[in-house]
Amino acid sequence: MNSRKDFSLRTLNFVYLGLLLLLGLTVTASFFPLGAWSLPVSFGIAAGKAVLVGLFFMNLKNEGGPLRLIAVAALLWLSLLLAFTFGDYLTRFSFGVLGK
Amino acid sequence: MDAAYKARFGMWIFLGTEVLFFGGLFVALFINFYLAPLDFREGLRHMDVFLGAVNTFVLLTSSWTMAMALHSMNSNQPQKAMKLMVTTILLGLAFLIIKGTEYYEHGREHLIPALDWHPASPLPKAAVLFFFMYFVMTLLHALHLSIGMGLIGFFSWRYSKSSQPGHLGPTLDNLGLYWHFVDLVWIFLFPSLYLIGRT
């Protein structure tokens, strides 16, 4: 499995340019009054950068299934952590508590 | 399965645990943000977006040089790879210096929870929580970055001193993975601590 392909310098340079573009975009966006959209926009762009770094710099694009599975599993556990914690906090004050 | 693959496998497992390590802190940050949004925004307004953006630029560039170092090593240009690794370390150092100037500014504004939080601070109470999370997360990130710099420095030094320069490939692969991970953490720290809800 060491026959993993490496990206050409050209690809790496393009990825770097893409990352800088996204950085410029997120900083520019932060100067506009986006209100509630501020969070999804900033994190959407951050996720875009993360995908570029993960697929190309960390070479997940050319890795086999098991390594990709580890990366996806880590994200799955993270999403469980987020989902259950926020499931609690976001609804904590919306219902009357029984017996209160 | 060859050794290089096994090494990467182990590194990815480790990075998986790191995702949850930082993930827990991000959850704590977001919960506090949700519970006291106005106070948090007040704290967030003390962040210097320009320095944050410059530091993001510096780290993204360092990831690029690290990826190119790997590429050079794999295409049999060890000298070029060494230069790129030293560049990566220097960029890490630049990041720490910029972060340090930010900390210095916070100190001058008495924004360091528990140590130097001005009693007459006009900031709302929960802003102290923002700065607490800010310092914990950025210091942990800086610690990871320093470890990365140390490891890259150590291995490139050992490689250059060796009379029979062995194959640095697998080690370099893992150093790269670790370095990119540290970059990934910052990619999410930057919007969380500098951008969201600023306007």
Taking only the tens of pLDDT, chain B with its 199 residues reads 688 888 899 999 999 999 999 999 999 999 988 888 888 888 888 899 999 999 999 999 999 999 999 888 888 888 888 999 999 999 999 999 999 999 999 888 888 887 877 766 677 777 888 899 999 999 999 999 999 999 999 988 888 877 655 567 678 889 999 999 999 999 999 999 999 877 7
* ipTM of this complex: 0.89
What's the whole-model pTM score?
0.91
For A48-60, write each residue's pLDDT tens digit: 999 999 999 998 8
For A28-75, write each residue's pLDDT tens digit: 998 888 888 888 999 999 999 999 999 999 988 888 888 999 999 999
pLDDT value of position A2: 47
In whole angstroms, what is the distance from residue A53 CA to residue B139 CA?
Answer: 22
pLDDT (mean) for A1-23:
85
Inter-chain contact A67–B63, Cβ cutoff 8 Å?
A: no
Q: Which two tokens stand for residue B99?
A: 């972060």
Residues with Cβ < 8 Å from B61, sequence gap 6 or more?
A16, B91
Inter-chain contact B60–A66, Cβ cutoff 8 Å?
A: no
Q: In chain A, where does DSSP find H-type helix?
A: 9-29, 38-52, 65-92
Inter-chain contact B19–A43, Cβ cutoff 8 Å?
A: no
Which of B13, B70, B194 is facing A70, going by the closest CB pair?
B13
Which of A30, A56, A73 is facing B195, going by the closest CB pair?
A30
pLDDT value of position A90: 85
Residue B112's H or E segment, with its range, is strand B111-112
User: CB B125: neighbour CB atoms within 10 A?
Assistant: 9
